[in-house]
Amino acid sequence: MIDSDPFGDSTQDMKTIAIANQKGGVGKTTTAISLSAALASLGKRTLLLDLDPQANATSGIGVEPDGEGSMYLPLLGSSKIEEKILPTRFKKLDIIPSGMDLAGVEIELARRDDHLTRLKKIISEMPAKENYDYCILDTPPSLGVLMTSSLAAADEVVIPLQCEWFGLEGLAKIVHVIEEIRQSGAAPDLTLEGIVMTMFDGRTNLSRQVVEEVKNYFPQQLYKNVVPRSIRIGEAPSHGKTIFEHDPSGLGAKAYHKVTREFLRRQTT
Ligand SMILES: Nc1ncnc2c1ncn2[C@@H]1O[C@H](COP(=O)(O)OP(=O)(O)OP(=O)(O)O)[C@@H](O)[C@H]1O
Ligand SMILES: [Mg+2]
């Protein structure tokens, strides 16, 4: 497991971090789960909010997806967000699960004038905010309402990026969307916290080239630690386990541990 608590317990104001990339299968959910679990084990009180109707973060952390329990009703104003918070088996880590009903929220929210800022308002007015240091949003692979309103609700965005050429095209696009959201006034202070390279394969030049390319354009945002392509990382969710439980001493667990420490160091500089 992860070392205990070198950063100390804390009581900072809750910060909302969206894990986002409109491209599918790039490691968003794996990063959201791993970062949340690692932050909690380092003493940070963390709320993982699963905003993807696929509910992969929910099942991946070992919680049953729940149609009634998702953000669907709070987003439509029919229930309070507090009622949706569930504990996980990890100390200091709670979750708001996803369920299939969230798929329908896209259409219903799109009808409302405040669709971009609805989630932001709910999260920022949540009384339970005081109980958390971080709220981590796992977002769906699209540019739909759930994804864009997650960006609008966030203080910072972490982009997981697969070490593939097509990943770079996707990066340009999400950076543009972040800029648009900032300029729309919905989230003027939204920052691109960082870019975490995932599925890095040290045996190929391609992986290194893609990392170099990102470094050229985003030297400050690029994480120094990369997440390797690892069979064990791919297996973990099928057991409802985090990589820290499934293969605690493996390269995947080490990488996500380092990424989390880097995240925390960046938060303080
Ligand atoms: N570093 C890795 N090495 C090997 N497999 C990985 C790695 N990271 C994620 N995977 C696997 O790749 C698949 C996609 O990962 P993940 O679900 O985290 O991506 P995602 O961006 O959330 O996908 P989606 O866009 O569908 O939500 C999953 O099966 C996951 O277990
Ligand atoms: Mg996902």
Which residues, in sequence order, are CB contacts of 169 under 8 Å at separation 6+?
A: none
| Ligand number with the minimum distance to the CA of 141 | 1
Nearest Cα to 244, choosing from 60, 56, 96, 65? 60
Tokens of 93: 């880590």
Centroid of ligand 2 to alpha carbon of 55 (angstroms): 8
Query: Does residue 198 have its Cβ closer than 6 Å to ligand 1?
Result: yes
3-state secondary structure of 41: helix
Of ligand 1's atoms, which has the minimum distance to the CA of residue 21?
21
Query: Does residue 162 have its Cβ closer than 6 Å to ligand 1?
Result: no
Nearest Cα to 70, choosing from 107, 100, 40? 100
Q: Whose CA is nearest to atom 29 of ligand 1?
A: 234
Q: What is the mean predicted confidence (pLDDT) over 238-262?
A: 97
| Ligand number with the minimum distance to the CA of 27 | 1
| DSSP label at residue 228 | B
From 21, 23, 30, 48, mutation site for ligand 1 pocket: most ligand atoms within 8 A of C-beta: 30
Q: Which amino acid makes up residue 180?
A: E
Centroid of ligand 2 to alpha carbon of 62 (angstroms): 15
pLDDT 10s digits, 47-78: 999 999 999 999 999 998 877 899 999 999 99
What integer best gives the mean pLDDT of the chain?
93
Q: Which residue has the tokens 């997806």?
A: 65
Among residues of the chain, what percentage have pLDDT more than 70?
96
From 21, 29, 229, mutation site for ligand 1 pocket: most ligand atoms within 8 A of C-beta: 29
Of ligand 1's atoms, which has the minimum distance to the CA of residue 198?
1
pLDDT of 12 reads 77
pLDDT of 7 reads 54
Q: Regarding predicted confidence, which is higher, 165 or 12?
A: 165
pLDDT of 149 reads 96
Nearest Cα to 47, choosing from 94, 97, 98? 94
pLDDT 10s digits, 7-43: 555 567 999 999 999 999 999 999 999 999 999 999 9
Query: Does residue 237 have its Cβ closer than 6 Å to ligand 1?
Result: yes
**Residue 220: Cβ within 10 Å count:** 9
Across 163-268, the runs of DSSP E, i.e. the strands, are: 191-198
Among residues of the chain, what percentage have pLDDT more than 90?
87
Q: Which residue has the tokens 């820290």?
A: 244
pLDDT of 54 reads 95
Q: Whose CA is nearest to atom 11 of ligand 1?
A: 234
Can you name the CATH fold of 15-268?
Answer: Rossmann fold (3.40.50)
Q: Whose CA is nearest to atom 25 of ligand 1?
A: 24
**Residue 1: Cβ within 10 Å count:** 13
Q: What global pTM score does this model have? A: 0.95
pLDDT of 66 reads 73
